[in-house]
Amino acid sequence: MPKRISGFIRYLSAILLFFMASQSLTAQGNRISGRVLTSDDNKPLAGVSVQLKGTGTGTVTGDDGTFSLQARVGDTIVFSIVGYDNIESPASQNMSILMNPVATALSDVVVVGYGTQRRRDLTGSVSSVSGRDISSLPVPNVGEALQGRAAGVQIVGSGTPGSNVTIRVRGTGTINNSEPLLVVDGVPTDIPLNNINPDDIASIEVLKDASAAAIYGSRGANGVVLITTRRGTSGRNTLEFKTFAGVQKATDMVDLLTASQFASLHNEMMVNNGQTPNPAFANPNSLGNGTDWLGAMFGTAPMQSYTLSYGGGNGKSNYYVSGNIFDQEGIVLNTGYKRYTVQFNSDTRVFDWLKFGNNLSLSHDIKSSGSYDIRSAMSALPTQSIFNPDGTYAGPVGQPSWVGDVANPVGKATLNKNTIKGYNVLGNVYGELTLMPGLRFKTTAGIQAAFWDTRYWAPKYDWDPIPQPNSYLAQGYNKSLTWLWDNYFTWEKRFNDHNLTVLAGSSAQANRYDGMNGSIQQFANDVTQQLSNGTLLPTIAGTANEWALLSLMGRVNYAYQDKYLLTATVRRDGSSRFGNANRYGTFPSASAAWRISQEDFFHSNLINDLKLRVGYGVTGNQNIGNYSFASVLQTVQYNFNGTPVTAIVPQMLPNPGIRWEKVEQANIGLDAALFNNRINVTVDGYIKKYERHAGSDVGTHFNGLFRYCCSQHQPWQGTEPWR
């Protein structure tokens, strides 16, 4: 028996040794290695993503450019890194890969709505601004950073701290809201641009013509602004701290009269009018300069921003997180804006066929101001002082024709407090499934939650000319929740010289807004600034409204030899803002491009790339209010024979025939890359025709309805960026 056991053990040991040896040889045969270098100077390239094509298996190159990967000889390996062209190469032992730097912006990938495209393959009019260009500017919000960087896009800012900019894409054409649709990381939103940290932005694309914007259908009439936030880079962990500080000051101030100059002119005016001059102005020269009200209202204001971010990843996941603090004082007395933001983005490939990710932005901002009035500051007399001898605020005392009747603008701007506090959540989570080679399905659930509180406090005062005997407090609370659910398939197929991409999907979005506000006057003590502590003229009001949008969309991109390009798009929207007869609208578009520079007859050392584009499409506008098709009723009270009576009256007449605003737009453009791709020139010409629906707010005092009219824009625009 012991001999049998001993023999069995030797037999088993031999089998195990053979198995381990075979596994070792197999493992050695299934692992490849190599090195990645730059093609221009043969230096090692670190942080290159090395992926086994079609799988989640991958690694990154080390500081010396080397890598090792589990793969079989002959498998396809994909090498990629930002700033270099992707390379696909068959696997072998001791691989040596040379990566070519991206030489032209034409190879950049741009976001076009529910997908991406190479810039060289665009058939519509799209302007793109990189995050590097935006974050390098010391500006308070993203909108101001866009100024002058996209042809056909006008940016106007009010200068008020925390205010949103006004954006016009190819002019103003609608009788309603002319703002373009804003889409942040795939979520259509109405969040103000000043709530987004410019340092978190990777790119901004502006879809200007109908062929590019038609994928957003009923909301693309005024153009579309697509914002993509930053993500981590595989194989490279990056910790960044960015800050800037500056001062702001009003320039080219209006020159106003001094006290001496005003007194002289006032005396002359009173005499010419047959009135008695002010005895205090008997010797105008003795009054000197007097009070500079504008100088008291304006001042030098500091501005500062701090951003700390961390990003990175590996072959299967990446992440990016950042925090920002921004503080801006206004150049007008007692105004300011503070913003706090947190951004968190991530992507994870769980399996070769399944990928998850999220984008999350949290922000809190505070806007503060007094009751400032620049016109009143310009109207206040320079002969009036700001303060009384006892330090209280002064006011005009005496005959109004002598001393004026403007209440102290500095006092109102200082003592009155107007504050808006906002809390915003904007984000989405997505899942992407690879169903088969070339076919992907993506589902995205998004949310925008906005909460903002308003508070206005005006304390009582006894200044002339009209004292305010009672303090006043008004407060409001607002909530807006928007939900989004997108689902779409993307199929990509390349065969011979043909390249085809097809997108088909649906989108559902809904919103509900709730708001309430109240006010009261006369407080026993101004320290107790609460609505429950007031005793005079209490008011309370509240409102709520909802809207929803359901859409189907499709897009086909076709290219032959990368020379002849065609794009066709269609979207059908159903909106709750219209009556049953006009609830649905269809918005199609088509565009084509011809890359002339790839024709055999084209020879030029000056022009590296030349492309002609043409397109036509129809987009819409649904920003007409939520209940324009229905009768809006209002509760009122009136006095009937001395008795208060409550009644319900129509606030707005119903208009069931109200319909979509449609914009037809034809576009022709030319893209050229010159001097070894150092200069890129884009020239566009377009015609826009607006078909307008009935006015959104038809009051009970109108006898008729404004049906529609048509107008046309026929401008040209161009850009010549230097690289």
- pLDDT tens per residue across span 122-143: 899 999 888 888 877 888 888 8
What does the chain come to in residues?
Answer: 723
Tell me phi and psi for residue 120, to 5 degrees. -70, -15
pLDDT for 137: 82
Confidence of residue 28 (pLDDT cuts 50, 70, 90): very low
Average pLDDT estimate for 42-67: 82
pLDDT at 645: 86
Closest-CA residue to 127 (of 170, 165, 157)? 170
- Higher-pLDDT residue of 201, 40: 201
DSSP one-letter string for 317-384:
EEEEEEEEEEEEE-SBTT-EEEEEEEEEEEEEEEETTEEEEEEEEEEEEEEEE----HHHHHHS-TTS
pLDDT given at position 9: 46
Does 487 have pLDDT greater than 80? yes
Residue 658 vs residue 456, higher pLDDT: 456
Residue 8: is its pLDDT beyond 70? no
pLDDT of 40 higher than 90: no
pLDDT over 60 (residue 2): no
User: Mean of the pLDDT values across residues 77-99?
Assistant: 86
332-375-297 Cα angle (round to 5): 25
Strand order in the sheet with 76-80: 58-60, 49-52, 76-80, 87-90
Q: What's the average model confidence in pLDDT over 692-705?
A: 39
Q: Which of 305, 135, 133, 129 shows the shortest CA–CA distance to 227?
A: 129
pLDDT at 96 over 50: yes
Q: Which residue has the higher pLDDT, 696 or 295?
A: 295
Asked whether 341 and 366 are in contact (CB, 8 A), the reply is no
Helices and strands (H, E) in the chain, number of each type:
9, 35
Task: Please name the residue ranges forming H helices in 30-140.
Answer: 131-135
Report d(CA 24, CA 398) in Å as an integer. Answer: 104
Cα 359 versus chain centre, distance: 14
Q: Is 78 in contact with 315 (CB distance < 8 Å)?
A: no
Per the prediction, the chain carries an average pLDDT of 86
Could you tell me which residues are beta bridge partners of residue 510? 483, 548
Condensed to tens digits (0 to 9), the pLDDT of residues 513-531 reads: 999 999 999 998 888 899 9
Distance CA(658)–CA(578), nearest Å, equals 7
Q: Which of the four pLDDT bands, split at 50, 70 and 90, describes residue 702?
A: very low
Residue 720 has pLDDT above 70, yes or no: no
Residue 719, pLDDT score: 53
Query: What is the mean pLDDT of the segment spanning 283-287?
Result: 91
User: Taking 80 as the threshold, does the pLDDT of residue 550 lie above it?
Assistant: yes
Question: For 229-279, what is each residue's pLDDT tens digit?
Answer: 999 887 778 899 999 999 999 988 889 999 999 999 999 999 999 999 999
What local confidence, expressed as pLDDT, does residue 163 receive? Answer: 87
pLDDT in tens, 296-342: 999 999 999 999 999 998 878 899 999 999 999 999 999 999 999 99
* pLDDT score at 102: 65
Over residues 145-185, the pLDDT tens digits come to: 888 888 889 988 888 888 888 899 988 877 677 889 999 99
pLDDT at 600: 87
pLDDT at residue number 323: 97
pLDDT, position 84? 76
For the ranges 20-24, 285-289, 440-444, the maximum mean pLDDT occurs at 440-444
Mean pLDDT within 633-647: 82
In the chain, what percentage of residues exceed pLDDT 70?
90
Q: Which residue has the tokens 């930002």?
A: 82
In sign, the C-alpha dihedral spanning 190, 162, 177, 701 is: positive
d(CA 329, CA 269): 41
Q: What is the pLDDT of residue 540?
A: 92
**Average pLDDT in the 622-635 region?**
81
The residue assigned the tokens 């004292």 is: 467
* Lowest-pLDDT range of 21-25, 140-144, 188-192, 429-433: 21-25
At 153, list the tokens.
């896009």
What is the tens place of the pLDDT at every residue in 368-384?
Answer: 998 888 999 999 999 99
User: Is 708's pLDDT higher than 50?
Assistant: no
Measured distance CA(113)–CA(224) in Å, rounded: 9
Phi, psi dihedrals of residue 244, rounded to the nearest 5°? -150, 155
Prediction pTM value:
0.80
pLDDT at 723: 39
Query: Percentage of the chain with pLDDT > 90?
Result: 49
AA letter at 398: G
| 535 vs 106 pLDDT, higher one | 535
Beta bridge partners of 543: 515
Assign 715 a pLDDT band (cuts: 50, 70, 90): low
Measuring CA to CA, which residue among 240, 280, 284, 246 is closest to residue 262?
284
